[in-house]
Amino acid sequence: MGNMHVSELNAGVGPLAAGAGAASAEPIDAFPRSRLPVAPVLSAASFWRHPVGGARVSSVLDAGPARFVTSGRVAISLALRQMGVGGGATVLVPAYHCASMVEPVIWSGARPVFYRVNADTSVNLDDVASKLDGTVRVLMATNYFGFPQALDTLRRFCDAHGLMLLEDCAHSFLGSYAGRPLGSYGDYAIASSMKFFPIYEGGCLVSAHHALDRVTLRSAGLAFETKVAFNSLEDSFEYGRLPLLGALVKLPLWLKDTLWRGIKARRQPGAPSLAPGSSDGGFGFDPAWMHKRSSLFARAVLRLVSLPRMGQLRRRHYGQLQAGLAGLPGCRPLFAHLPDQVYPWVFPLWCDEPERVFRQLKRAGVPVIRFGEYLWPGVDRTVCANSVELSRRVLQFPCHQELSAPELAWMIEQIQGALKAQKAGSS
């Protein structure tokens, strides 16, 4: 599997988004492969207990019992089912979103209604209140890019209005708010572990308030287990990690690819896929994966990876991006500060001329993520002008724990160059 796919998958963007902006004439294939991994890839260091005695880092897994599935979107569909949401019900979804957040709602039979977010991505509660019409059962709230919403306020609002809160922690696997782990405020919370860990698939459903006994999952089978383990390793070899292991498994990998091609050639059209579409960069929600357990490989990695290392490095890389891009023309960090207890998914940068910057960086092989680039049909300025602006203007850059110092320095240099060129071009 090319890592291009992993980048799209883990970015939560559409099939075209990682390659071409909506206004761009260049198709996805016109851009070279990213020169550094957009999402974490496995390295020997992934498992280091470093720093020794480092501060404990909260995660959604501290919020309550969890069920490990293959993606965040599957977890959303399970949460809605647990809430008993179906035909006739309304789910309030933020107007700044990606399709993976909307498709499970539609699949459940409920109606998504989009509410406004403020310019800083916080929930516009006045708008939410104006949409309460007796059919609204659920408020979906997203901790964008790892930065929590005012979760205590949202919780109180939901309690006061008899709503259930679905806390979307797809960008916030780690962190806490007002002393409680993210994921613990929602009736149910979902996360997308594949955005944070060096794994090929993975999401989870968590609840601090309800038992998950009725959520039963089954194995997705040996072919799936094998495929996802090999794919995770391949992504890692592609970016020069685990070189010794890479050399050792060259032959088995070649055999696997050959075998795979044979299996694929013989499969009937329409046969169920061996891994979720989300893992192949697909955008869709496939209910066939709703009751499939995440792979053994992914669950083992989740247990073994050091959360303090992950948290500390994400914050450090975010800080380096912030310092490196400070004061550059035509841009500003979406969030002025990185509060304590926030462990960001990415570094979001507001750009005056996003298309030009995006294309220049993609041509240079810089991984650029565009969460929310394609809003659901009908979501326009009349629905939420802030969401349209965020969708168009905010580019995101990886700050994950598996970036090396030279990779990060190179990426910062490229972004600086693109922003300065933008200034020169426009003056």
For residue 187, state whether it binds ligand PLP (rule: CB under 6 A).
no
Site for ligand PLP in 227-286 (CB under 6 A): 278
List C-alpha distances in Å: 374 to 24, 95, 97, 151, 390.
13, 11, 8, 26, 11
**Closest separation between CB of residue 73 and ligand PLP, Å?**
3
Q: Rounded CA gap, 53 and 334, in Å?
A: 32
**Residue closest to ligand PLP, measured at CB:** 12
**Closest separation between CB of residue 143 and ligand PLP, Å?**
8
For residue 172, state whether it binds ligand PLP (rule: CB under 6 A).
no
Please report the sign of the dihedral spanned by the C-alpha atoms of residue 332, residue 337, residue 338, residue 344. Answer: negative
Q: Which is nearer to ligand PLP, 64 or 276 (CB)?
A: 276
Residue among 42, 102, 123, 170 that touches ligand PLP (CB under 6 A): 170
Residue among 19, 21, 72, 367 that touches ligand PLP (CB under 6 A): 72
Q: Which stretch binds ligand PLP (CB under 6 A): 70-78, 242-250, 291-299, 331-339?
A: 70-78
For residue 371, state whether it binds ligand PLP (rule: CB under 6 A).
yes
Please report the sign of the dihedral spanned by the C-alpha atoms of residue 168, residue 170, residue 171, residue 172. Answer: positive
Q: Rounded CA gap, 241 and 232, in Å?
A: 11
Q: Rounded CA gap, 51 and 48, in Å?
A: 8
For residue 92, state whether it binds ligand PLP (rule: CB under 6 A).
no
**Closest separation between CB of residue 264 and ligand PLP, Å?**
24
Give the helix/strand (H/E) hosting 262.
helix 250-266
Site for ligand PLP in 119-158 (CB under 6 A): 142
Q: Answer whether 163's CB lies under 8 Å from 138's CB.
A: yes
Q: Which stretch binds ligand PLP (CB under 6 A): 35-43, 93-101, 314-322, 377-385?
A: 93-101
For residue 192, state whether it binds ligand PLP (rule: CB under 6 A).
yes
Q: Which stretch binds ligand PLP (CB under 6 A): 15-23, 167-175, 233-241, 407-415?
A: 167-175
Site for ligand PLP in 195-214 (CB under 6 A): 203
Q: What are phi and psi of 142, to 5 degrees?
A: -110, 130
Residue among 5, 137, 155, 171 that touches ligand PLP (CB under 6 A): 171
**Closest separation between CB of residue 244 and ligand PLP, Å?**
31
For residue 101, state whether it binds ligand PLP (rule: CB under 6 A).
yes
Residue among 1, 93, 98, 233 that touches ligand PLP (CB under 6 A): 98
**Closest separation between CB of residue 105 and ligand PLP, Å?**
11
Q: Answer whether 332's CB lies under 8 Å from 312's CB.
A: no
**Closest separation between CB of residue 330 and ligand PLP, Å?**
26
**Closest separation between CB of residue 47 and ligand PLP, Å?**
23
Please report the sign of the dihedral spanned by the C-alpha atoms of residue 17, residue 229, residue 221, residue 219. Answer: negative
**Closest separation between CB of residue 44 and ligand PLP, Å?**
26
Q: Rounded CA gap, 213 and 132, in Å?
A: 31
- The counts of H helices and E strands in the chain are 13, 12
Q: Identify which of 91, 86, 181, 82 has the alpha carbon closest to the alpha carbon of residue 132.
A: 91
Q: Which is nearer to ligand PLP, 100 or 184 (CB)?
A: 100
Q: Which stretch binds ligand PLP (CB under 6 A): 66-74, 128-136, 227-235, 407-415?
A: 66-74
**Closest separation between CB of residue 267 and ligand PLP, Å?**
24
Instruction: Please calculate the CA angle 321-324-330 and round it to the nearest 5 degrees.
Output: 95
Q: Rounded CA gap, 118 and 390, in Å?
A: 10
Helix, strand, coil in percent for the chain, rounding step 5: 45, 15, 40
For residue 67, state whether it binds ligand PLP (rule: CB under 6 A).
no
Record the tokens describing residue 148, joined without a space.
């929590």
Other CB atoms within 10 A of residue 336 CB: 8
Beta bridge partner(s), residue 68 = 204
Q: Which stretch binds ligand PLP (CB under 6 A): 61-69, 94-102, 105-113, 213-221?
A: 94-102
Report the interface residues with ligand PLP, using CB under 6 A.
Answer: 12, 71-73, 98, 100-101, 142, 168, 170-171, 192, 203, 278, 371
